Amino acid sequence: MNLDRPAVLGWLRERDAGRLETLWSLADRTRRRHVGDEIHLRGLLEISNHCRRSCLYCGLRAANTAVQRYRMDAQTIIAGARDAAERGYGTVVLQAGEDPGLEAGWIAGVVRAIRADTGLVVTLSLGERSREELALWRSAGAGRYLLRFETSDPRLYAHLHPAAPGGPRHRTELLPILRELGYEVGSGIMVGLPGQGIESVADDLLLFRELDLDMIGVGPFVPHPGTPLGALDAVAAEEQVEPDEETVMKVVALARLLRPDANIPATTAVATCWGPRGRERALLRGANVVMPDLTPPPYRAQYEIYPGKTCPPGLELTMTAIGRRPGIGPGGRRREEVPWSRP
Ligand code: SAH
Residue 97: CB within 6 Å of ligand 1?
yes
Which candidate, 55, 49, 98, 52, places its Cα nearest to that of 228? Answer: 55
* Centroid of ligand 1 to alpha carbon of 42 (angstroms): 17
Long-range contacts for 61-68 (Cβ within 8 Å, ≥24 apart)?
Answer: 61/226, 61/227, 64/226, 64/227, 66/226, 67/226, 67/302, 67/304, 68/302
CA quadruple 322, 91, 272, 244: dihedral sign:
negative
Helices 198-210 and 5-13: crossing angle, nearest 10°? 130
pLDDT at 337: 58
Phi, psi of 47 (to 5 degrees): -85, -15
Cα-Cα end-to-end distance for the chain: 16
Which candidate, 172, 164, 122, places its Cα nearest to that of 147? Answer: 172
Report the distance separating Cα 340 and Cα 343, nearest Å.
7
Atom of ligand 1 nearest to the CA of 220: 24
pLDDT at 233: 59
Residue ranges of the chain with per-residue pLDDT less than 70: 1, 232-235, 337-343
Ligand 1, pocket-test mutation among 42, 51, 146, 148, most atoms within 8 A of CB: 148
Could you give the count of Cα atoms lying within 13 Å of 337 in the half-sphere of its Cβ?
1
Residue 157: CB within 6 Å of ligand 1?
no
**Are 241 and 322 contacting, i.e. CB atoms less than 8 angstroms apart?**
no
Atom of ligand 1 nearest to the CA of 97: 1
> What pTM did the predictor assign?
0.96
Residue 125: CB within 6 Å of ligand 1?
yes
Ligand 1, pocket-test mutation among 46, 53, 58, 147, most atoms within 8 A of CB: 58
pLDDT at 336: 72
Helices 131-139 and 104-118: crossing angle, nearest 10°? 20
* Centroid of ligand 1 to alpha carbon of 192 (angstroms): 13
Which candidate, 333, 248, 321, places its Cα nearest to that of 282? Answer: 248
Residue 222: CB within 6 Å of ligand 1?
yes
